[in-house]
Structure 1
């Protein structure tokens, strides 16, 4: 059994008016990956995309901070996280092993901004899809970071905030919290 965890800290909290935070636990046991994520103080009554990000070449990803706001617009947007965190890899939605990132199958925060996500994922299916996408079947969780995304449409985002994906706006993809995944056992 392998166990990984992440302490998820706020990102963009001054700009969005809430300090989203939480924790994640990843347990690899035999042929399954169990994912548990608990979040607090996220924008309420809103779906929140969540993923692990990393570098396909195996470099160690780090969390983004305000230092990644390279255009100085007051927001660290999704493209600005790439320099330190890499690319979006595996979604934490209703079927992580399918690696279908832009969809509406992510957790929704309650009226208090809290949500919990638990999913047992078939590791062989996830590894196969991961290898087809990134040419490597090793998830390397301890080289990844977790991001939580999403703000309400009434948050005033300047035109300089980038990261729209398909028909999903920058309000959906804006990172609101991040955590470094570390090996525990």
Structure 2
């Protein structure tokens, strides 16, 4: 997988309930043993940390973005578990150390007062592939079969008890998807 370029247009999810339409762009550039990840977001909930990951299916099935049709319990929110049938599981985090694949932590971007953040990271593919294989029994990142999610709403936002998504000691405020994009070969 040398010298490949992937992009994703990131569109809002749950915007009617969270009061902002988070949107942005992502690019993934593979050159030799380096993966350069660049993500820029606007109109995210301001002043808070936003988890961001690519999701997919370990069996190589093509992932699709979740829409409000995935709100199977009818509470008006598409929560993390409701994304799984179309998007698969959380795979690689876009935090301070993506190759470590340590998903629940506090090392993700924080939006400024206007809800903007930009994230860029160079990742050694050999390390990422080794950890990906250990987690999913596959070394193929298959970016064109993945989707990117941006998560996170303020802890003061009133979420109904039906909104699920606890990961470790992090509650649904941290994991609620606010934007999603399909990763495509460019």
Flag whether TM exceeds 0.5 (same fold).
yes
What displacement does 1:154 show? 1.5
How far apart in 2 are the matches of 1:39 and 1:169?
22
Deviation at 1:46, TM superposition (A): 0.4
**Structure 1 alignment gaps of length 5 or more:** none
Q: How big is each residue's C-alpha offset from its partner over 1:36-90, in whole Å with a ceiling of 9 and x where there is no partner?
A: 0000000000000000000000000000000000000000000000000000000
Q: Which residue of 2 aligns with 1:34?
A: 36
Alpha-carbon distance between aligned partners in 2 of 1:174 and 1:13, rounded to the nearest angstrom: 11
Which runs of structure 2 are paired with 1:86-105 in the superposition (5 Å)?
Answer: 86-105=88-107
Q: How many residues align?
A: 184
Q: 2:132 aligns with which of 130, 133, 136?
A: 130
- In structure 2, how many angstroms separate the alpha carbons of the residues matched to 1:155 and 1:181? 29
Match of 1:49 in 2: 51
For 1:94-173, list aligned pairs within 5 A. 94-173=96-175
Q: How many angstroms does 1:151 deviate by?
A: 0.1
CA RMSD in angstroms comes to 0.3
* Aligned counterparts of 1:47 and 1:29: Cα–Cα separation in 2: 29
What is the CA-CA distance between 1:150 and the residue it aligns to? Answer: 0.1
Alpha-carbon distance in 2 for matches of 1:41, 1:155: 16
* Per-residue deviation, 1:116: 0.1
1:101-132 CA-partner distances (Å, limit 9, x unpaired) = 00000000000000000000000000000001
Q: Measure the CA separation in 2 of the matches of 1:79 and 1:6.
A: 22
Tell me whether 1:174 sits opposite 2:176 in the alignment. Answer: yes
